[in-house]
């Protein structure tokens, strides 16, 4: 069980290429790798399935219909991306431009909300989704709150506006918050102290530093995660999220056996089937 993930791969950012596992373990303040979630009892929390951009493989990403479909397929949480319009309205959109996932063109940051509200964010994926709007964040949250929790990745938006919209939706706490931008993460933690702040291992390869940065959830890409790193993260009090966009049943299974708290994937139905098999829930 301790070897379900490679033990030394990706420790190089902190310990160098020729990794000594004992040295690495001592640096993480543990004597040896520990097995997390070797058996699933009532005391072990069930892994929560996070559907990346909604059910993005069967519906247009970052839309309300995609979120509803994710819930139908077994997701517990929907991951979404937030950007701001020129007039300060928050929208759910991954890219800086509108080109890929709407019938619009150009930077969202230069567009007015009155024009953004007229865009079609569904037809690019398939004609059956024609007319699906580019969702305002407040509409996305309000519509999906009865069905799902939220993992909000802030691409480019004022933290104070995000805080106001979460409060307006009755979500003053319990949402996962993340940004790839280090400075923005710092401001988000100060502006949203009651939310669950996440950091990716690639942002902070030194796990102690990641904890000192104020995060409570540490995300690993599937190729980065090892049993030793899981132990290090547990020792620092982190909840753990694993992410992969691939339909990688082996990675899903390994994460579920390891008992990670969150599985952030594009295939919620597969993850649900495996969770029922492995965790009985």
Give the pLDDT band of residue 18 (cuts 50, 70, 90).
very low
Instruction: Work out the percent of the chain whose per-residue pLDDT is above 70.
Output: 84
Q: Are 50 and 241 in contact (CB under 8 A)?
A: yes
Active site residues: 52, 94
CA distances from residue 50 to 54, 149, 193 in whole angstroms, order as listed = 8, 9, 22
- Residue 61 within any structural domain of the chain: yes
> What whole-number distance in Å separates Cα of residue 103 and Cα of residue 254?
40
At CA 76, angle to CA 175 and CA 135, rounded to 5? 65
Number of domains in the chain: 1
| H or E, element range at 272 | helix 268-279
- Residue 6 within any structural domain of the chain: no
Over the stretch 256-272, which tens digit does the pLDDT of each residue have?
Answer: 999 999 999 999 999 99
Over the stretch 232-244, which tens digit does the pLDDT of each residue have?
Answer: 999 999 999 999 9
* CA 132, chain centre distance (Å): 24
Q: What CATH number did the domain enclosing 44 receive?
A: 3.20.20.190
- Residue 64 within any structural domain of the chain: yes
- Residue 3 within any structural domain of the chain: no
Q: Are 110 and 83 in contact (CB under 8 A)?
A: no
What's the mean pLDDT in 32-59? 68
- Residue 137 within any structural domain of the chain: yes
Give the pLDDT band of residue 38 (cuts 50, 70, 90).
very low
| H or E, element range at 191 | helix 182-191
Query: What is residue 24's three-state secondary structure?
Result: helix
- Residue 35 within any structural domain of the chain: yes
- Domain, as residue range, for 128: 12-279
| H or E, element range at 178 | strand 176-178
Question: Which range, of 33-42, 96-105, 135-144, averages the lowest pLDDT?
Answer: 33-42
Give the pLDDT band of residue 13 (cuts 50, 70, 90).
very low
- Residue 199 within any structural domain of the chain: yes
pLDDT of 225 over the 50 cut: yes
- Residue 1 within any structural domain of the chain: no
């Amino acid at each position: 069980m301790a070897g379900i993930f490679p033990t030394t791969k990706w420790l190089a950012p902190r310990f160098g290429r020729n990794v000594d596992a004992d040295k690495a373990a001592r640096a993480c303040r543990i004597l040896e790798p520990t097995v997390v979630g070797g058996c699933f009892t009532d005391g072990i929390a069930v892994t929560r399935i996070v559907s990346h951009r909604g059910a993005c493989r069967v519906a247009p990403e970052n839309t309300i219909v995609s979120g509803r479909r994710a819930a139908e397929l077994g997701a517990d949480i929907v991951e979404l991306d937030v950007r701001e319009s020129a007039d300060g309205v928050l929208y759910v959109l991954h890219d800086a431009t509108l080109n890929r996932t709407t019938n619009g063109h150009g930077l969202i940051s230069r567009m007015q909300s009155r024009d953004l509200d007229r865009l079609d964010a569904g037809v690019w994926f398939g004609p059956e989704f024609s007319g699906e709007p580019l969702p305002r964040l407040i509409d996305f949250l309000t519509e999906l709150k009865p069905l799902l929790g939220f993992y909000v990745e802030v691409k480019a938006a004022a933290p104070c506006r995000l805080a106001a919209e979460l409060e307006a939706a009755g979500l003053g706490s319990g949402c996962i918050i993340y940004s790839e931008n280090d400075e923005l993460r710092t401001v988000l933690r100060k502006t949203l102290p009651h939310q669950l702040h996440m950091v990716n291992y690639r942002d902070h390869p030194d796990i102690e530093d990641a904890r000192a940065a104020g995060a409570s959830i540490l995300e690993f890409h599937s190729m980065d995660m090892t049993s030793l790193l899981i132990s290090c993260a547990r020792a620092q009090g982190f909840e753990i999220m694993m992410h992969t966009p691939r339909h990688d049943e082996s990675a899903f299974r390994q994460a579920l056996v390891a008992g990670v708290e969150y599985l952030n994937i594009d295939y919620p139905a597969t993850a649900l089937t495996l969770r029922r098999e492995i965790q009985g829930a």
